[in-house]
A and B are shown apart, each in its own frame.
Chain A
Amino acid sequence: MTAALLEARNIARDFLVRRPGDLLGRKRVLRAVDGVDIVVARGRTLGIVGESGCGKSTLGRLLLGMLPPTSGTLRFEGQPLHAREDAAWRRQRRRLQMIFQDPLGALDRRLTLGEQIREPLDIHETADVQARERRLDEMLDAVGLSRTMAARYPHQVSGGQRQRAVIARALILDPALVVCDEPVSALDVSIQAQVVNLLRELQARIGVAYVFISHDLKVVHHVSHEIAVMYLGRVVEQGARDRLFARPEHPYTRALMSAVPRPDPQQRSRRILLSGDPPSPLDIPPGCRFHTRCPAASDLCRRSEPALAPLADGHRVACHHPGRDTPP
């Protein structure tokens, strides 16, 4: 195992919200991320999966220092991660980058792609202008954009090309870690594969680490070395990709896995259907937070919340009855 690049210890993040229609009522605390431990290794990819609203985007922003955690500690390359916008924070941006879901929104429509890809170099004044131009050319090559393409505005190119530009902008400073927040879910399926392969190829070449946030298990399976499954602000299962996909332990992970379509119609797996919507993060159920929808829930689950604990092989799961689809 390579040295840890980013280490998050027990981080949590609260938001103060008003319930809709409750104009004068007291604000309530929404705990979007609730005590998460995460380690990202150099040059590896950590996939984070979960339903919408489970806190995975908030976690991504916490890991980048774009949002200060309410509690817990974050260390990046051995240093505390800055989360306030000051000079130290700005310097740390060189090593930490982000790729966004909506490439059109993430690009300034009044500047050409080339100007925007080069902008990190201009912001951090890395070298003289000629060297920056050379670096821009290298980066355009690396992501497969031509010079004529770089002279266009974001609305003049396709979605895939825009996302390539966003990737080039994120990688031009040679960062150590890039958080990809649903980087392909806004793209056509045919383009998704191209962009995902490009991300993997660049990782192999420059050794950048990714935190890859997605709700799409196929894509996460394709890019990740390790995967964390989130439910209502907590990691419920975490482990190496192949172990997780071969033998998912948490009933929630098992349900997610069973929903992935398989290419072979002979090999039919039993679908585990979850009933109902996830509970509101404002009213997290007592006990195990998944028990309201869990097919294997027992009395124990309604009373006490399981901690994320390692099994014999180091695979970690937060469940009283790992590996079961029916109550014990």
Chain B
Amino acid sequence: MKNKSLVSINDFSREEHIQIMDFAEKFEKHPTQKILEEYVVATLFFEPSTRTRLSFESAASRLGAKVIGFSEPGSTSVKKGESLRDTIITVANYSDIIVMRHPLDGSARFASEVSRVPIINAGDGANQHPTQTLLDMYSIRKTQGSLDNLNIAFVGDLKYGRTVHSLVMALCNYNTTFHLVSPDELKLPSSVKMHIKENNHEYHQYSDIMKVIPHVDILYMTRIQRERFSDPLDYEKVKNSYVLRNSMLEKSKPTLKIMHPLPRINEISIDVDDSPQAYYFTQALNGVYVRQAILAAILGVKVN
């Protein structure tokens, strides 16, 4: 993994995913390890994403690295019309690794081709967000003890959510049964379903969330956005059918964990927050350990 860019989740093998999760486990035990004191981490956010940026900067700081960068392009040369290519080549001269978020699809792959230092993709448009996928995998492994033989439900917008697509792809490396709960308009794209089939896993589609709750180990909630519907009436019809309330969890397995990539709007009622099954805030905390692990693995330093 040393010096390898992380652009798409598939850039790293199943074994490399496991190594990152093993590293993250070590960081969870010993979060502060000054193993990157000699390193400069650049965080280039061509569009704002407070959560992802703070999580990366927190990870880098706990490792003792210096962090440089910008949180939105407004005050930079990008605004003057500098090309992405030139920005990346320049910043690569100032840093040992670049974390970038950019509104255009494919921008991270292109950056990895012009940069002399490795790139970590922190989201390129609607395309990929591999560090989110790795923290989701880590959260599942940690709460269920393994990534194998699980029943995982995805709920909400399965059509446009890149988080869902990447996680489904990555989980196809494990023995997973997928339960896909969405309104008709927002079903998982057939290309992703093909991938499940090609890997000989099962998937089941539902429109009623109550049908899956008693049977699953993970309930991965996502937000349904009004603007995804061409007819506003269709949105009104479904908007309340995919909201999780504490009372709905009565028949669930005690080991069920509820995940969400955050930010949450109203798709998980706040009365769920006190349930021992609510896991979304811990999931976000895991993001720091996983990002520490990714930085350490790519920079090739020893983790204690």
Say if A and B assemble together.
no
Which B residues are closer than 8 A to A by beta carbons? none
